[in-house]
Amino acid sequence: MFDARFVHEQIVDASLAARAFTLGTAAKLRGADALYAAVAEREGAALVTLDHEMLDRAGGVRP
């Protein structure tokens, strides 16, 4: 179930965009997926997903 208390807005600044570009290029991720991976990396958080490409390419984990 969605709980807005656990949603945190992230500002996409130049350094985050650059890291997303690097991750996306290296792992062949789509734009938004690369941003999700970059935010997870920056926050030291697990990238939790059901998306098979994200699991395979970005090291995501299943919930």
pLDDT, tens digit, 9 for 90 and up, residues 35-58: 999 999 999 999 999 999 999 999
Please indicate, yes or no, if residue 1 is contained in any of the structural domains. no
Please indicate, yes or no, if residue 48 is contained in any of the structural domains. yes
| Number of domains making up the chain | 1
Q: What is the mean pLDDT of residues 3-10?
A: 87
Q: Which long-range contacts (CB under 8 A, 24 or more apart) does 42-50 make?
A: 42/16
Beta bridge partners of 61: 48
pLDDT of residue 53: 93
Please indicate, yes or no, if residue 63 is contained in any of the structural domains. no
| Global pTM exceeds 0.75 | yes
Boundaries of domain holding 44: 10-58
- On whether the CB atoms of residues 36 and 47 are closer than 8 A, the answer is yes
Please indicate, yes or no, if residue 41 is contained in any of the structural domains. yes
Q: d(Cα 3, Cα 56) in Å, to the nearest integer? A: 27
Could you give phi then psi for residue 48, rounded to 5 degrees?
A: -90, 125
